Amino acid sequence: MNTMNRSLFFGIIVLICFVNFSYAQIKAPAPFGPVPSENQLRWQEMEYYAFVHFSLNTYTDQSWGFGNEDVKLFNPEKADCRQWARICKEAGMKGIIITAKHHCGFCLWPSEYTEYSVKNAPWKNGQGDMVREMADACKEYGLKLGIYLSPWDRNHPDYGKPEYITYFRNQLTELLTNYGPIFEVWFDGANGGSGYYGGANETRTIDRTTYYDWSNTYKLIRKLQPNIVIWNDGGDRGDLRWVGTEEGYVGETNWSLLNATGDVPWNMLHYGVENGDSWVPAEVNTSIRPEWFYHPSEDDKVKTVPHLMETYYNSIGHNGTLLLNFPIMPNGLIHPTDENRTLEFGKAVEESFAVNLAEKSKAEASNVRGNAKQFGAAKAIDDNKETFWATDDNITKASLTINLGKPTMFNRFMAQEYIRLGQRVKTFTVEALVDGNWKEVAKATTIGYKRILRFPSVNATKVRFTITDSKSCPVISNIGVYNAPVFLNAPSIARNQSGDVTITTNDIGPIFYYTLDGNEPTTKSNIFTTPFLADGKVEVKAIAYDPASGKRSPVGQEKFDISKKNWKIVGTNNEKSVAILDGNPSSVWHQRDKKMPVDLVIDLGSLQNLCGFKYLPDQNKWSSGIITNYQFYVSADNIKWKLVDEGEFSNIKNNPVWQIKKFAPEKVRYLKLRALKNTSGDDVAGYAEVDVITN
Ligand code: FUL
């Protein structure tokens, strides 16, 4: 080699070393803190999937069966899991979790280990298997299958004894072996209490931290279904967490982290734990109706599209997944109203996020990891979840500016972290460049897998996303900017004790139109300006209308029963007691000075044909006085009382909705709601509202 060739040779070697060296320097950031497992990642990316609640409760109008309900009731003559799967698929959902066994113990599959199942029901002459039909339908529609198996079993004679755990595991084994891949298993937290228990009819308490021996059950589950995620609110930490409410929202701050041990109070469920040592992301479970099982009285209470959109933003938009429930009707189908709402909701989501305005623009970042293209700002707007914008390791504040090229209207901002490397961002802001000036349009805390922010529409040429604090250098896989259609909320309708009806909304400035004759309101109906008198039995329907956009809301509706004008609460001078009758769910009266059982006596002022009553508990689930067990008496003279109904308000703590109870008609003037027990185990009885049903 001559001198020149030699220097060229060494030059090339040096260059190769340099390139390699600098390339080697620009590695992706190291994972920070706990990271998701492959199963958790796959699950998180599903985002939206369904629950179906179907059991003997469907036939008894109950929320929780006692365990003694007759299996002969189960005869869904039109049962069609393909209908459920079709709706879920068309709505954009990715899977379905079926209540294979709810607390009553009735099994939707012909379990070998109990007689309390479809095999003794008239449906298909005992030859049916609803879990099989669900699995087949999911397969046909390309959906994943999940299983809800209630640990609490109010039918089984051994519940509370060690033998039951064997039974429970046998059932789990059947379900996790015979129906193909299962993406999620769901263990409800309701545990122990009164039940039929094979005829014992007693109360059985268990220690939820030890009774189920979850760690061994988990081993079995993971052996049978290695790709599964476990949801458990009953003891040991599973792969996913409940969010502490069934109303359909998780905290705005939502860390996908918890600690592996220790108590998990409400705030941890709801917000996660910033420095938690385990990855336990949030699943938001809620029903499309107030209750989980089908009740005909809720046919006009199906959530509206704006309500469901709100749920979407508060779940998927808050770094959670959305598990939306369909109560199956006694005939075995999803109600047409629920179907329509779900499909409209699916369309609304699609329309809202159809065009990502960031995608065709240019992005620039204040810092790019090692100045390397592979971690550049463009990677956050390339619609590829595997690439990301990352900064240098020492950076915890950084911004990324998107140039939209021309004034562009938008009202939504979406960000996603590359969670394989952990959840990092603590706070961020979004600014818009309007007429040459930066204007902050939104600010928020955590991001996680996905965060969506809403703000009034702006017409801007640039968007600046600034991470103002992060646990470690930010790693952002996707950013979206959208101009979503705005929906008007269905108005709320309330009536006070004097019979004055008020119509309200959270939206600013719409006109309300209403009807009192059951017809759908139009812009030709009565206009609501001030509260109006509509006493006695009446159905009020109302819409909100925005004259500027010509948009109208879905119909809000309320059915009111007899007038409460002359009602009196007997035996108290407490002024606060009127809260029970004021039509306002947020005002509450507590009786604190008595020992259980605590009576509430109401004088209706005149004889009425009563066939049911309604009780709305305190809407604050941590408040004392939420009644769980009751008796209901009626009287014509406040002397001779007749017991007409007794039982439990089953799921009242987690789902504090109106409790509606019916009984054979009685002509009476006085009613007595006797509280036998409450959720806090003390002597307080609290009431937000009490109402009657007359015929
Ligand atoms: C609750 C249960 O008690 C309800 O009945 C329902 O199944 C819901 C999904 O979970 O805790």
In a domain, 11, yes or no: no
Look at residue 624 in the predicted model and tell me its pLDDT: 87
Look at residue 428 in the predicted model and tell me its pLDDT: 98
Look at residue 10 in the predicted model and tell me its pLDDT: 55
Residue nearest to atom 10 of ligand 1 (CA): 188
Residue nearest to atom 1 of ligand 1 (CA): 188
Which atom of ligand 1 is nearest the CA belonging to 102? 7
d(CA 104, CA 240): 25
For residue 170 the two structure tokens come to: 């046998």
How many Cα atoms occupy the beta-carbon half-sphere of 455 within 13 Å? 21
- Among 655, 657, 659, 679, say which to mutate for ligand 1: greatest number of ligand atoms within 8 Å of CB: 655
In a domain, 242, yes or no: yes
- Among 103, 651, 657, 659, say which to mutate for ligand 1: greatest number of ligand atoms within 8 Å of CB: 651
454 and 587 together in one domain:
no
331 and 385 together in one domain:
no
Which atom of ligand 1 is nearest the CA belonging to 233? 11
- Whose tokens are 């609290």? That residue is 686
Report yes or no: 385 and 477 within 8 Å, Cβ to Cβ: yes
Neighbours of 586 (CB within 10 A): 10
For residue 548 the two structure tokens come to: 């500027």
408 and 447 together in one domain:
yes
Which atom of ligand 1 is nearest the CA belonging to 99? 7
- Give the contacts of 111 (CB within 8 A, at least 6 positions apart): 117, 119, 171, 174
How many Cα atoms occupy the beta-carbon half-sphere of 588 within 13 Å? 20
d(CA 191, CA 151): 7
Which atom of ligand 1 is nearest the CA belonging to 292? 6
Look at residue 311 in the predicted model and tell me its pLDDT: 98
CATH number at residue 396: 2.60.120.260
403 and 454 together in one domain:
yes
3: CA distance to ligand 1 center in Å?
A: 83
Q: Quick: pLDDT tens for 548-590.
A: 899 999 999 999 999 999 999 999 999 999 999 999 999 999 9
DSSP-derived secondary structure letter, 28: P
- Among 147, 246, 269, say which to mutate for ligand 1: greatest number of ligand atoms within 8 Å of CB: 246
Residue nearest to atom 6 of ligand 1 (CA): 292
Q: Quick: pLDDT tens for 412-461.
A: 999 999 999 999 999 999 999 999 999 999 999 999 999 999 999 999 99
Which atom of ligand 1 is nearest the CA belonging to 650? 3
DSSP-derived secondary structure letter, 120: G
For residue 120 the two structure tokens come to: 């003794």
Q: For 95, phi and psi rounded to 5 degrees?
A: -170, 175
274: CA distance to ligand 1 center in Å?
A: 28
331 and 473 together in one domain:
no
Q: Which residue, 539, 560, 581, sits at the end of a domain?
A: 560
Residue 25 pLDDT > 80, yes or no? no
The alpha-helical segments, DSSP class H, found in 276-361 are: 305-315, 336-352
Which atom of ligand 1 is nearest the CA belonging to 148? 7
Kindly give the pairing relationship between strand 144-149 and strand 182-187.
Answer: parallel
In a domain, 689, yes or no: yes
Q: Which residue, 426, 452, 482, sits at the end of a domain?
A: 482
List residues bridging with 545 in a β-sheet: 511, 552
570: CA distance to ligand 1 center in Å?
A: 36
CA distances 583 to 210, 301, 565, 689, Å, are 44, 17, 12, 7
- With 0-12 / 13-18 / 19 or more C-beta atoms within 10 angstroms meaning exposed / middle / buried, residue 14 is exposed
Selection from 108, 125, 231 nearest residue 179 by Cα = 108
CATH number at residue 126: 3.20.20.80
The alpha-helical segments, DSSP class H, found in 274-304 are: none
CATH number at residue 518: 2.60.40.10
- Give the contacts of 301 (CB within 8 A, at least 6 positions apart): 289, 290
Peptide bond into 547 cis (omega under 30): no
Residues with CB under 6 A from ligand 1: 63-64, 188-190, 285, 292, 651, 654
Task: Report percent pLDDT > 70 for the chain.
Answer: 96
283: CA distance to ligand 1 center in Å?
A: 14
Amino acid letter, residue 623: S
181: CA distance to ligand 1 center in Å?
A: 24
510: CA distance to ligand 1 center in Å?
A: 37
554 and 447 together in one domain:
no
Kindly give the pairing relationship between strand 451-470 and strand 398-417.
Answer: antiparallel
DSSP letters spanning 352-398: HTS--TTTTSEEEES--GGG-GGGSGGGGSSS-TT--EE--TT---E
Residue 541 pLDDT > 90, yes or no? yes
Identify the helix (H) or strand (E) that includes residue 87.
helix 81-90
pTM of the model: 0.94
322 and 207 together in one domain:
yes
In a domain, 33, yes or no: no
517 and 606 together in one domain:
no
CA distances 298 to 37, 65, 187, 303, 562, Å, are 40, 19, 26, 10, 19
Neighbours of 283 (CB within 10 A): 22
102 and 169 together in one domain:
yes
Which atom of ligand 1 is nearest the CA belonging to 287? 9
Which atom of ligand 1 is nearest the CA belonging to 150? 7
Of 131 and 24, which is predicted with more confidence?
131
Dihedral, 67, 70, 75, 80 alpha carbons, nearest 10: 10
Region 622-644: mean pLDDT is: 96
Query: Quick one: CA dihedral 518, 520, 526, 529, positive or negative?
Result: positive
Which atom of ligand 1 is nearest the CA belonging to 64? 5
Instruction: Compute the chain's Rg from CA coordinates.
Output: 29
Q: Quick: pLDDT tens for 490-531.
A: 999 999 999 999 999 999 889 999 999 999 999 999 999 999
151: CA distance to ligand 1 center in Å?
A: 12
Look at residue 406 in the predicted model and tell me its pLDDT: 96
DSSP-derived secondary structure letter, 126: G
585 and 516 together in one domain:
no
311: CA distance to ligand 1 center in Å?
A: 18
53: CA distance to ligand 1 center in Å?
A: 9
Look at residue 623 in the predicted model and tell me its pLDDT: 84
Kindly give the pairing relationship between strand 48-53 and strand 320-327.
Answer: parallel
Query: Strand, coil or helix: what is 617?
Result: coil
Selection from 212, 171, 174 nearest residue 190 by Cα = 212
Neighbours of 383 (CB within 10 A): 12
Query: Strand, coil or helix: what is 197?
Result: helix
d(CA 6, CA 1): 6
Neighbours of 397 (CB within 10 A): 15
147: CA distance to ligand 1 center in Å?
A: 13
Which atom of ligand 1 is nearest the CA belonging to 63? 5
189: CA distance to ligand 1 center in Å?
A: 8
Look at residue 233 in the predicted model and tell me its pLDDT: 82
**Domain span holding position 81:** 38-352
Which atom of ligand 1 is nearest the CA belonging to 285? 9
Look at residue 22 in the predicted model and tell me its pLDDT: 47
Region 369-381: mean pLDDT is: 97
242: CA distance to ligand 1 center in Å?
A: 11
What average pLDDT is seen over the chain? 95
| Number of compact structural domains in the chain | 4
- With 0-12 / 13-18 / 19 or more C-beta atoms within 10 angstroms meaning exposed / middle / buried, residue 157 is middle
Residue 279 pLDDT > 80, yes or no? yes
Look at residue 190 in the predicted model and tell me its pLDDT: 82
Residue 2 pLDDT > 60, yes or no? no
In a domain, 30, yes or no: no
Q: Quick: pLDDT tens for 165-223.
A: 999 999 999 999 999 999 999 999 888 799 999 999 999 999 988 999 999 999 999 99
Residue 18 pLDDT > 50, yes or no? no
Amino acid letter, residue 356: N
320 and 408 together in one domain:
no
Query: Strand, coil or helix: what is 689?
Result: strand
In a domain, 4, yes or no: no
251: CA distance to ligand 1 center in Å?
A: 20
Tell me the CA end-to-end span of the chain in Å, nearest whole number: 108
50: CA distance to ligand 1 center in Å?
A: 14
Residue 300 pLDDT > 90, yes or no? yes
d(CA 470, CA 475): 10
Q: Which residue, 459, 482, 505, sits at the end of a domain?
A: 482
Query: Whats the size of the chain, residue-wise?
Result: 695
d(CA 222, CA 229): 9
For residue 503 the two structure tokens come to: 């119509």
Neighbours of 646 (CB within 10 A): 14
Task: Report percent pLDDT > 90 for the chain.
Answer: 93
Region 321-336: mean pLDDT is: 98
Q: Quick: pLDDT tens for 596-609.
A: 999 999 999 999 99
Query: Strand, coil or helix: what is 577?
Result: helix
161 and 177 together in one domain:
yes
Query: Strand, coil or helix: what is 233?
Result: coil
Where are any strands of DSSP class E within 247-354?
Answer: 257-258, 278-279, 282-287, 320-327
- Among 232, 621, 654, say which to mutate for ligand 1: greatest number of ligand atoms within 8 Å of CB: 654
In a domain, 487, yes or no: no
- With 0-12 / 13-18 / 19 or more C-beta atoms within 10 angstroms meaning exposed / middle / buried, residue 598 is buried
d(CA 327, CA 29): 46
In a domain, 23, yes or no: no
Identify the helix (H) or strand (E) that includes residue 76.
none
List own/partner pairs for 196-201 with CB under 8 A and 24 or more apart: 196/66, 196/67, 196/68, 196/154, 196/155, 197/67, 197/154, 197/155, 197/156, 197/157, 197/159, 197/160, 198/155, 198/156, 198/157, 198/158, 199/157, 200/157, 201/68
64: CA distance to ligand 1 center in Å?
A: 8
Selection from 358, 360, 362 nearest residue 482 by Cα = 358
150: CA distance to ligand 1 center in Å?
A: 9
Which atom of ligand 1 is nearest the CA belonging to 654? 11
